[in-house]
A and B are shown apart, each in its own frame.
Chain A
Amino acid sequence: MSGKLKGKGGLEGYLEAFKRFQNGAGGPSWLRDVRQAAIQRSAELGFPTVRDEHWKFTNLAPLAKKTFRAASGGGKITLDDVAPFVFRGQESARLVFVNGRYVEELSDPCAQPGGVIACSLAQSLGTHKELVEQHLAKHLDYERDFFAVLNTAFMADGGFVYVPARALVQRPIHLVFGTTKTSSPVVTHPRNLIMVGEAAEAAIVEEYVSLGGDEYFTNAVSELVVDEGAVLEHYRVERESERAYNIGTVRVQQGRGSNVTCHGVFLGGALVRNNMHPVLAGEGAECVLNGVFMPRGRQHIDNFMWVEHASPHCGSRQYYNGILDDKASGVFSGRIIVHKDAQKTDAKQTNRNLLLSDEAQMDSKPQLEIYADDVKCTHGATIGQLDDEAIFYLRSRGIAAETARTLLLFGFAAENLERMREEPIRRYVEDLVTGRLPRGEILKKLS
């Protein structure tokens, strides 16, 4: 799109951009209908404000006011630019999206045994029409989630993963979304559709990065449909530019006895919203939301958990740890909703936060909505500083005070990192986290 097309800011800008997008985007008629319905719903919902109870702690005004041009691919990115995005010691499939579009030359979907498919959503519309039509946009929350609906209106590309029943994904699938330097701020709406069949197993990583981009907006949605008895290890690594906006929604639909772990690592972005919305729809399903967020400077990271227990005997765990420095702010809202029939629910939530500066701020809010009578729900939140006793213990062994603090900060994040079962991915993430700690380089020598 030309930079000269000066769009209007706010909702109106999106509505206008939609007309051009819908004309140019093509696609099957059912998809055009879905998009059309979504833009209408977006217009009805409008940008949330702090008066909206789900957005109390995050002021979207700067994002709402800003004009973002719709990005549609482009950007001169080479293999060298994406070379850092590899998991050492593990062959993995890599799908690279630049400014919202799949770039074949930068990607290596690598063949996987057992009929596993990893390709771009745009491709899948041609090659796997039925699967896409059956699942795309089927589970979103049209009632309340403005950004997921907006993404639906503009969805064009993203990761498409299909793991047939009983298949085992041997190489983790790594989806990399990068935004390049552009003449004016752009918005992308990455859309991922991930289906894991009955008793299948998969590990999938979504990573959001800047490839030179500075101020831009990523509005991502992932739909994870996990069938009976399937096991999914899902990772989301957010390391956008520190002036970027990232709003990501992960909607997980879980079948009977399925087991899903969603790891999250949030490092970048000026304003980040992490929407996690698992629905434990089948009996005996288990879900773990495990995340660490580390805002600094003036970054703001808002974690919004919405865990629905819709069937009996399901278990959910939320473990979110935050490390906040400078004038950064963070939010953790953890809502657990236990539907009427979801007896024997076992839900637990912990949110622990470290404030490294007096000016850092954290709002933590558990919310339990329980309509069944035989359930076990617990929650706990802490906001504090590093433990003086622990610092002294390390210093009393000869470790300098600064190093002691770095070790303890790492230890704090390590609680989350240790839950990541895929070792090469864990090491990759560990490096990113270590890199963000003050004097983190000293940790490299110790393991």
Chain B
Amino acid sequence: MLEIKNLHVSVEGRKILKGFSLKVDAGEVHSIMGPNGSGKSTLASVLAGRDGYEVTQGQVLYRGRDLLEMEAEERACEGVFMAFQYPVEIPGVGSIQFLTAALNAIRKHRGEEELDAFEALKLFKDKVKQLHMSDEMLHRSVNEGFSGGEKKKNEIFQMAVLEPSLAILDETDSGLDIDALRIVADGVNALRSPERAMLVITHYQRLLNYIVPDYVHVLVDGRIVRSGGKELALHLEEHGYSWAGERDPAAPAGASA
């Protein structure tokens, strides 16, 4: 589904990703862990199509197509979804208005019938209920005045509505209390399917108790320095990232510089 080959990315002339490679197949959940500033959000942003990133080398294929050639909205319509580390507040734009626009843009792209305002609202309310969230947020402006946890839950709600093929969650667990963490994890797990893939970026192995990944990768200074199964996360928790970087002789090419 997703193939990232030797990706090099700079921001304002600074090299952030330095030869990042990763292959994700449909049905898989990959977790990316790494210290602050290692480039996790940069990776997510480049995949989602945020401006301001310069790809100096490498390639990203999504379902066989060059992802980097596509506009951000086209990626979303093709099924890429990023849950933001810091969701944006948009005063004055109603959540329903926003999500109806998004849903219908995607449906139209897929050749499906657009929903009218009434049908869309019904769908939103059903999803809110399934996720055990409160529909109060539907009646507010997008993320405006939301608490950190509410914003994260809203990202998961949007994901549930838009039903992406590739979901990238950028630290969706940070700042959540136990209840919210369960709601978020349940939302993600409900979406797991053989047709979908997920990239779960996190600092804490805690989340991975709820969303059990197939693979865990350790990102240090713009490169994957170690990959393994879910037990790698536990090991990291104990030994820290420096361990992962220093002592793995089997790290992917370019990791041991």
Mutual binders A and B: yes
Q: Is A170 an interface residue (CB 8 A)?
A: no
Do A411 and B73 contact each other (CB < 8 Å), given the known contacts A403-B101, A445-B117? no
Q: Is B48 an interface residue (CB 8 A)?
A: yes
Closest A residue to B159 by beta carbon equals: A397
Asked if A396 and B76 sit within 8 Å, CB to CB, the answer is yes
Do A447 and B94 contact each other (CB < 8 Å), given the known contacts A390-B88, A399-B102? yes
Distance (whole angstroms) from the CB of B50 to the closest CB of chain A: 5
Distance (whole angstroms) from the CB of B103 to the closest CB of chain A: 8
Closest B residue to A400 by beta carbon equals: B73
Q: Is B90 an interface residue (CB 8 A)?
A: yes
Distance (whole angstroms) from the CB of A329 to the closest CB of chain B: 24
What residues of A have a CB within 8 angstroms of the CB of B51 in the complex? 388, 392
What residues of B have a CB within 8 angstroms of the CB of A401 in the complex? 71, 73
Closest B residue to A397 by beta carbon equals: B102
Asked if B73 and A395 sit within 8 Å, CB to CB, the answer is yes
What residues of B have a CB within 8 angstroms of the CB of A400 in the complex? 73, 105
Do A447 and B117 contact each other (CB < 8 Å), given the known contacts A398-B162, A401-B71? yes
Do A396 and B97 contact each other (CB < 8 Å), given the known contacts A388-B51, A446-B117? no
Asked if A408 and B101 sit within 8 Å, CB to CB, the answer is no
Asked if B105 and A411 sit within 8 Å, CB to CB, the answer is no
Question: A400 vs B73: C-alpha distance in the bound complex, in angstroms?
Answer: 6
Asked if B91 and A395 sit within 8 Å, CB to CB, the answer is no
Asked if B92 and A411 sit within 8 Å, CB to CB, the answer is yes
Contact check: which of B49, B90, B117 meets A411 at CB < 8 Å?
B90
Residue interface mask B78-101, A partner, CB < 8 A = 1: 000110100110111110111111
Residue interface mask A177-195, B partner, CB < 8 A = 1: 0000000000000000000
Question: A287 vs B192: C-alpha distance in the bound complex, in angstroms?
Answer: 54
Q: Is A105 an interface residue (CB 8 A)?
A: no
Asked if B158 and A408 sit within 8 Å, CB to CB, the answer is no
Q: Is A211 an interface residue (CB 8 A)?
A: no
Contact check: which of A388, A389, A396, A407 meets B93 at CB < 8 Å?
A407
Which A394-424 residues have a C-beta within 8 angstroms of B? 394-401, 403-404, 407-408, 410-415, 418
Contact count band on A: 20 to 34
What residues of B have a CB within 8 angstroms of the CB of A443 in the complex? 97
Contact check: which of B75, B97, B109, B141 meets A446 at CB < 8 Å?
B97
Asked if A410 and B71 sit within 8 Å, CB to CB, the answer is no
Do A398 and B88 contact each other (CB < 8 Å), given the known contacts A411-B93, A447-B97? no
What residues of A have a CB within 8 angstroms of the CB of B218 in the complex? none
Greatest chain A CB density within 10 A among B49, B76, B101, B117 is at B101
Asked if A395 and B76 sit within 8 Å, CB to CB, the answer is yes
What residues of A have a CB within 8 angstroms of the CB of B88 in the complex? 387, 389-390, 392-393
Asked if A398 and B73 sit within 8 Å, CB to CB, the answer is yes
Closest B residue to A413 by beta carbon equals: B92
What residues of B have a CB within 8 angstroms of the CB of A393 in the complex? 84, 87-88, 90, 142
13 more contacts with CB within 8 A, not counting A395-B72, A398-B109, A399-B76, are: A389-B88, A394-B102, A395-B76, A397-B76, A397-B162, A398-B106, A399-B101, A410-B93, A411-B91, A411-B92, A446-B97, A447-B94, A447-B96
Q: Which residues of B contact A (CB under 8 A)?
A: 48-51, 71-73, 75-77, 81-82, 84, 87-88, 90-94, 96-106, 109, 114, 117, 141-142, 158, 162
Q: Which residues of A contact B (CB under 8 A)?
A: 387-390, 392-401, 403-404, 407-408, 410-415, 418, 442-443, 445-447
Closest 7 CB pairs of A and B: A411-B92, A414-B92, A398-B76, A397-B102, A411-B93, A395-B72, A393-B88
10 contacts between A and B (CB under 8 A): A392-B49, A392-B72, A395-B49, A395-B76, A398-B102, A410-B92, A414-B93, A418-B92, A446-B96, A446-B101
